[in-house]
Amino acid sequence: MPFIATNPATGQVIAEYAAHSPAEIDARLERAAAAFRAWRATSHEERRTLMTRAAELLEGEIPAVAELMTSEMGKTFAAAKGEASKCALTMRYFAEHTEAYLEPESIVTRGRRSGVRFDPVGPILAIMPWNFPLWQIVRFGIPTIMAGNVVVLKHAPNVPGSALYIEDLFRRAGFPEGVMTNVFAEVEDVPAIIGDDRIAGVTLTGSERAGRSVAALAGQHLKKCVLELGGSDPFIVGAHADLDLTVPHAVTARIQNNGQACIAAKRFIVVRERSEEFLSRFAAAMSDVTTGDPMDPATALGPIVSRAQRDLLDAQVSSSVAAGAVVHAGGAALAGEGYFYPATVLSHVPSGTRAITEELFGPVAVVHVAEDLDDAIAYGNATPWGLGGSIWSTDDAEIDRAIAGLDVGVVFANAIVASMPELPFGGTKNSGFGRELSAFGVREFTNVKSYFVA
């Protein structure tokens, strides 16, 4: 099967690449293994110089790479430029900070010297999704490479241009061949790659179903894995929320990346005393969202990534409405070319319907009324997922109760949930395990090696 990039704004095929043969995959794995043997011995200074050069190159190419991402998956051009800028910033961050994160730690024992080292483990297979074609690779790959490992990238088949770009970027920055290796591998090729002795670990960002499969394969071969899976993030509006701040951010939190982000707010949980005003203002603001050509600066919401994904979202909404959900904005796929779906707000959604039990990967918000903050937190936790969540309040006591009470990996207060290089990122429950970014992400694929000198 070829790797095909289709522009979701027009439905037109823009690029097509053949899948790699078993022999080509084997050669690329061998290249990565050879690169690791040399790369692990490089100094922090050498790694820092090369990574800084990669950041410089990317910064000079932001408009071009942004247009590539927009054409392949439909995010707005403005969002794509922001993604590319964030990638360059993250490259610079880990170029600067990784040496300190990997500094051996001394521990007092009965020995003369003892402590812990953090040593690289080898080539890491990265199975990446389409929704952030560059950032997903950078978020995992930069800390991992700076730790002395190398990356074998199996990207989503609908963003092949982005996969080739990141491989070429590392090559042009001067990294040894094989430090970042792209593999156009079919799904049926993945088990053999995970089981290959040259692969030391695997990371996946994707669906819960894919995560279970990869975790089972990694466990079968006794290899470390990190999983960042789905989410149904709660956006909790407390009694002391400033709605002038909260409502515009609620819109952005739902429509960011055309609503196709694991950490996008999906369940808007509002305490009863603020619910009527919030719902009225939120629905009006969502109705005003401009949907259209993602290259147009006036567009706030671009297309869904594919016809199949758009039709799935439409079915999730329509079945929930048929069961009794109330539509306050949007609610049906848009006619015409491309895979567009409007910003949508639902309330009174019955439990057990698809808008409650399934992740909505598109610009559809579900509003739920809670009796008080404790009820809101309990409802926020009443899901199999636990990726992120936010609390909107001017009261520190409310904020702290939500931070402590939410069973998620990331909590933001009065700000949209985001990933940033300084903080560890990852989820709990069915949203996966392991961490990316920060010192935790740097050390995730290292051998924590104790040493003792008598």
Domain architecture of the chain: domains with CATH: 3-229+431-453 (3.40.605.10), 233-413 (3.40.309.10)
Give yes or no for residue 2 having a pLDDT over 90: no
Give yes or no for residue 1 having a pLDDT over 80: no
- Over range 355-368, report the average pLDDT: 97
- From residue 425, alpha-carbon distances to 202, 262, 265, 303, 442 in Å are 17, 12, 16, 27, 12
Active-site residue among 72, 228, 359, 436? 228
**Beta strands at 150-154 and 180-182: parallel, antiparallel or unpaired:** parallel
pLDDT tens by residue, 253-301: 999 999 999 999 999 999 999 999 999 999 999 999 999 999 999 999 9
pLDDT at 373: 98
What are the residue ranges of helices labelled H in 128-271? 135-146, 160-173, 190-195, 208-220, 243-255
- Over range 402-413, report the average pLDDT: 98
- Catalytic residue status for 103: no
- Over range 409-428, report the average pLDDT: 98
pLDDT tens by residue, 144-190: 999 999 999 999 999 999 999 999 999 999 999 999 999 999 999 99
- Catalytic residue status for 228: yes
- Over range 331-338, report the average pLDDT: 96
CB 141 within 8 A of CB 98: no
pLDDT at 160: 98
Q: Work out the pLDDT band at 303, boundaries 50, 70, 90.
A: very high
φ and ψ of 299, to 5 deg: -80, 130
pLDDT tens by residue, 64-108: 999 999 999 999 999 999 999 999 999 999 999 999 999 999 999
Among 284, 273, 264, residue whose Cα is nearest residue 238: 273
The reported pTM is 0.97
pLDDT at 416: 98
pLDDT at 393: 98
pLDDT at 193: 98
- Alpha-carbon distance of 236 to 404, in angstroms, equals 14
DSSP string, 374-410: HHHHHHHH-SSEESEEEEE-S-HHHHHHHHHH--SSE
pLDDT tens by residue, 362-388: 999 999 999 999 999 999 999 999 999
Active-site residue among 262, 359, 398, 436? 262
pLDDT at 447: 98
What are the residue ranges of helices labelled H in 174-204? 190-195
pLDDT at 91: 98
- Alpha-carbon distance of 236 to 270, in angstroms, equals 6
